[in-house]
Structure 1
Amino acid sequence: MRRVSVLTVAAATTIIAIAATSFAGSAQAQAGKVRGVTKTEIVIGMHTDLSGVAASYGVNSANAMRLRIDEINAQGGVHGRKLRLIVEDNQYQVPRAVQAANKLINRDNIFLMAGALGTPMNNAVLPDQLKAGVPNFFPITAARQMYLPFHRLKFAGGSTYYDQIRAGIKWMVANKGSKQICTLYQDTDFGKEILEAVQDQTKAMKLPLVETATNKPADTDFTAQISKLRAANCDLVVMGTIIRDAIVPYATARKMGWNVDFLGQSANYDQIVAGAPGGATEGLYTMAGTILPYRDTASPTVVAWMDRYKAKYGNDPNIGAVYGHALMDQLIFALERAGKDLTTDKLITAMESIKGYRDIFGGPVVSYGPDKHQGSDESFLFQVQKGRFVMIAGPVNYGS
């Protein structure tokens, strides 16, 4: 998910420059010892949205991470060390994210960053975070930059937007007979990643990319874009949109009597989309890298987790909570494997040794290696049916 910051580019540049100096100083000050690790605790940092446009992701993912930490700490922690999570509000704004990361790294002396929300926020923070020697584990974004270019301190858990779209197009062509492929995408870095995936997959399958249309993240009228795509005789529209701008164009097409298939990706995979009023998204296809559980079909383990979450926080867990639990559980697994004499190098070695890990929700099998820091490129295909996401296929990827 992405949104342009309300602060000026000049202000963001100034903050980033100041932070870069602080990050470098911190790295020098920490030479010769393991930052964020004592005999009794491991300090984990997180910058996320607690009060902005993506707060439903940020608040719930942070809460789920805390819940998992509380559970492991109640059992004595990891090799006798308690985990401590420090969460800072980035308000889904780049300058705020840089400020938050600067505090976490230099004042709070974190061992690693986990669950940081937002592609532009991670991209702004990462260069100096990595210079400071602070790993970035399982950021909540499906952008390829979270593991590419390869860096020993960057780990991403699941499939990217690019992976998902390519796999989704392949499935739709094979199973729905799609031949006239079009795309509607945000005129942002996020949207352009979707466009690149559509271009690459249609080229690989020797199919035409018939038409394209763009929108701004704040657009509310999609009549012109839908009319343009309809005139091109598309039979599949691939969407590089987020929550609201996935609902509106799909609903617009249906109101116009245009009933071709639409395919989204994990930025659309939110119950807000499936449950849109009046069944506005009924029939929409969406790719995602994980599974959103529903209580009546969930396993006893997941139901118990849902109950614990609601008892502690007073609301049902959403997809953000699923992300938070899954990433923290995987991190704890790696910390346990790293051993009592914890260092960054030993944690990286432990991560790279993980093969065949799977979360409690039935997500894809996750494996890493010395030259592989993306846990999985597999995705699941869902369709909105009667107000909920129903799995149609998965796991799938475009290479298989």
Structure 2
Amino acid sequence: MNKWTIVKTVAAATAAATLAAAASAQTRGVTATEVVFGMPTDLSGPAATYGVSSSNGVKMRFDEVNEAGGINGRKLKVIVEDQAYQVPKAVQACNKLINRDKVFAFVGPLGTPMNNACFKDQFAAGVPNLFPLSAARSMYAPYERLKFYGAASYVDQIRAGINYFVKNKGVKNVCVMYQDTDFGKEILEGAREQAEKLGIKIVETTAHKPTDQDFTAPITKLREAKCELVALGSIVRDSIVPYTSARKAGWNDVIFLGVASSYDSFVGAAQGMDGFYAMGLTEMPYADSPVPTVKKFVEDYKKRFKVDPNIGAVYGYVGADLTVQGLKNAGKDLTLDSFIKGMEAIKNYKDIFNGPEVSFGPNIRQGANSSFLAEVKGGKWVRVTQPLGF
């Protein structure tokens, strides 16, 4: 190679590097050495059991990547903001992350009404919404190229559960107890859709606030309606209190069915919860899990955070890992467009928790749609079925 060839080669390499740096400089949240993500979540409110653990899960996966040198020379950083599961605080947290911190994307943002409230400003700023801790259909529909959600929706889940109990257990009188929020209304809509498909009616419904603690009146109302199955649009505390209240009142011949928001180790371990059902998406992270990768995750998580993980940690970790796959697919020249293409290139992704395969595409923003039925037995969640359809 002669002198002029060497000069041209060096010049070309320098120009390419300059162009890549310029593109990154124009991409919010991206520098030559770092990619900054935002995570508005609940650290102090009624869903804090999910918010704290899911943010730990995101940090854990990002730390693993950073300890291995990052992605294309860039370390991953997440800024976590507490929104206390309140819409006004969520809007404030989102605005800070978008306008002050200039984050590249949101990863693992928690709550249906909170995500919905942030979408307009978020998407106007070109900030993707990645793997929210909400299974509402609005997390992937209507189509928006900046939305990515990886699992079955609440509607998918409750429809599958109701279908199972009606067809396999002979249930006829279906009722709904739901949070009077965007999240809870998803459960009500799903239950009505499946009831119509099955040719049955929703016998009774009750609505409550996320912060309610006394469920005597709604339980009495549902019992008088002779409900055989109560579909729950609830999270943690508002799953435990109604169920245990019903059992203490002697109402033992009714099935309580939650969705993935109730499929939580804290719910399973709470006193008096045996016999409670919920729809699950992945293995529960128990220390004695028969799945080696789950067992190792639990060990590593506890070593890092000094507490046992719950299912929120799983959701955060998987969402962060899917984000990592998208970043890898995007290549060194990281821009919003290259990242979107990188996410759309994810095919047949399998997590370490026996979750469903996840695939995206140019017009596909819901990566999977199956869920399974689980029951609390001896203070732990146990799978009852294989993935269900409806």
Q: Same fold (TM over 0.5)?
A: yes
Q: For residues 215 and 48 of structure 1, what CA distance do their matches in structure 2 show?
A: 22
The residue aligned with 1:8 is none
Q: Given that residues 263 and 280 in structure 2 are in contact (C-alpha distance below 8 angstroms), is that contact kept between their aligned partners in structure 1? A: yes
Distance 1:371 1:312, change over 3 A: same
The residue aligned with 1:111 is 104
Deviations 1:332-352 (A, max 9, x none): 111111111111112111212
Pick aligned residue for 1:330 from 315, 322, 325: 322
Q: Which runs of 5+ in 1 are unaligned?
A: 1-29
The residue aligned with 1:152 is 145
Q: How many residues are aligned here?
A: 367
The residue aligned with 2:18 is none
Deviations 1:328-373 (A, max 9, x none): 1111111111111111112111212222112101111111122210
Q: For residues 167 and 174 of structure 2, what CA distance do their matches in structure 1 show?
A: 13
Which AA in structure 2 matches 1:137?
L
Distance 1:386 1:366, change over 3 A: same
2:283 is the counterpart of 1:291: yes
2:363 is the counterpart of 1:374: no
User: How far 1:58 moved relative to its partner?
Assistant: 1.6
Distance 1:397 1:266, change over 3 A: same
Distance 1:215 1:48, change over 3 A: closer
The residue aligned with 2:185 is 192
Distance 1:79 1:266, change over 3 A: same
Distance 1:272 1:346, change over 3 A: same
Q: Given that residues 135 and 154 in structure 2 are in contact (C-alpha distance below 8 angstroms), is that contact kept between their aligned partners in structure 1? A: yes
The residue aligned with 1:226 is 219
Which AA in structure 1 matches 2:267?
V
Q: For residues 189 and 147 of structure 1, what CA distance do their matches in structure 2 show?
A: 15
Q: For residues 118 and 103 of structure 2, what CA distance do their matches in structure 1 show?
A: 14
2:375 is the counterpart of 1:383: yes
Normalising by structure 1, we get a TM-score of 0.87
User: How far 1:31 moved relative to its partner?
Assistant: 11
Q: For residues 103 and 257 of structure 1, what CA distance do their matches in structure 2 show?
A: 49
Q: For residues 161 and 285 of structure 1, what CA distance do their matches in structure 2 show?
A: 15
Distance 1:379 1:343, change over 3 A: same
- Of structures 1 and 2, the larger Rg is shown by 2
Distance 1:171 1:103, change over 3 A: same
How is 1:1-400 mapped onto 2 (pairs within 5 angstroms)?
33-258=26-251, 259-277=253-271, 280-398=272-390
Which AA in structure 2 matches 1:281?
M
Which AA in structure 1 matches 2:270?
A
User: How far 1:257 moved relative to its partner?
Assistant: 2.9
Which AA in structure 2 matches 1:58?
G
User: How far 1:100 moved relative to its partner?
Assistant: 2.2
The list of structure 1 runs, each at least 4 consecutive aligned residues, that deviate by more than 6 angstroms after superposition, is none
Q: For residues 75 and 313 of structure 2, what CA distance do their matches in structure 1 show?
A: 21
Q: For residues 42 and 31 of structure 1, what CA distance do their matches in structure 2 show?
A: 10
Distance 1:392 1:98, change over 3 A: same
User: How far 1:210 moved relative to its partner?
Assistant: 2.1
Which AA in structure 2 matches 1:265?
V
The residue aligned with 2:11 is none
Distance 1:242 1:301, change over 3 A: closer
Q: Given that residues 206 and 218 in structure 2 are in contact (C-alpha distance below 8 angstroms), is that contact kept between their aligned partners in structure 1? A: yes
The residue aligned with 2:16 is none
Q: Given that residues 160 and 377 in structure 1 are in contact (C-alpha distance below 8 angstroms), is that contact kept between their aligned partners in structure 2? A: yes
Q: Which runs of 5+ in 2 are unaligned?
A: 1-22
User: How far 1:264 moved relative to its partner?
Assistant: 1.0
Q: Given that residues 114 and 139 in structure 1 are in contact (C-alpha distance below 8 angstroms), is that contact kept between their aligned partners in structure 2? A: yes
After TM superposition, the structure 1 stretch with the greater mean CA deviation from structure 2, 162-171 or 187-196, is 187-196
Q: Given that residues 164 and 289 in structure 1 are in contact (C-alpha distance below 8 angstroms), is that contact kept between their aligned partners in structure 2? A: no
Distance 1:123 1:71, change over 3 A: same
The residue aligned with 1:18 is none
Question: Secondary structure of 2:91's match?
Answer: helix
Q: For residues 67 and 214 of structure 2, what CA distance do their matches in structure 1 show?
A: 51
Q: For residues 350 and 76 of structure 1, what CA distance do their matches in structure 2 show?
A: 20
Normalising by structure 2, we get a TM-score of 0.89
Q: Given that residues 24 and 31 in structure 2 are in contact (C-alpha distance below 8 angstroms), is that contact kept between their aligned partners in structure 1? A: no
User: How far 1:185 moved relative to its partner?
Assistant: 2.0
Q: Given that residues 44 and 112 in structure 1 are in contact (C-alpha distance below 8 angstroms), is that contact kept between their aligned partners in structure 2? A: yes
User: How far 1:155 moved relative to its partner?
Assistant: 0.9
User: How far 1:131 moved relative to its partner?
Assistant: 0.4
Q: For residues 189 and 45 of structure 2, what CA distance do their matches in structure 1 show?
A: 29
Which AA in structure 1 matches 2:345?
S
Q: Given that residues 310 and 316 in structure 1 are in contact (C-alpha distance below 8 angstroms), is that contact kept between their aligned partners in structure 2? A: yes
User: How far 1:377 moved relative to its partner?
Assistant: 1.4
After TM superposition, the structure 1 stretch with the greater mean CA deviation from structure 2, 338-347 or 215-224, is 215-224
Deviations 1:2-61 (A, max 9, x none): xxxxxxxxxxxxxxxxxxxxxxxxxxxx99922222222211111122233322222221
